[in-house]
Amino acid sequence: MNQLQIIQHNGQRVLTTAQLAEAYGTDNRRVSENFNANKERYTEGKHFFLLQGDDLKEFGDQYGNSVSVNRVSKMYLWTEKGAWMHAKSLNTDK
């Protein structure tokens, strides 16, 4: 696994879905499926941030060299608590 780049949003360290998938040895699709299957357990602002529209564009402008926001209409950023929630239910070796 490559060193994960530190990304901050609203004063919190966060991971993109791609970074989370890499860290847990899975793929983006499985992370998304896991989230959708357990959506009622996640709280926006506590476990994740959803970026769309101008917020997504600003995020892309800030982290454009390291985070690709091209061709996406929304992006989830996972807080530490959100990452731990995924760790429990993804059940990977990592």
Is the pLDDT confidence value at 1 over 60? no
Stretch 87-92: mean pLDDT, rounded? 80
Q: Which two tokens stand for residue 10?
A: 């609203």
DSSP 35-91: HHHTGGG--BTTTEEEEEHHHHHHHHHHHTTTS--TT-SEEEEE-HHHHHHHHHHH-
1/24: higher pLDDT: 24
Stretch 15-25: mean pLDDT, rounded? 92
Is the pLDDT confidence value at 83 over 50? yes
Rounded-to-10 torsion of CA 84, 86, 87, 90:
170
The pTM assigned to this predicted structure is 0.86
6/16: higher pLDDT: 16
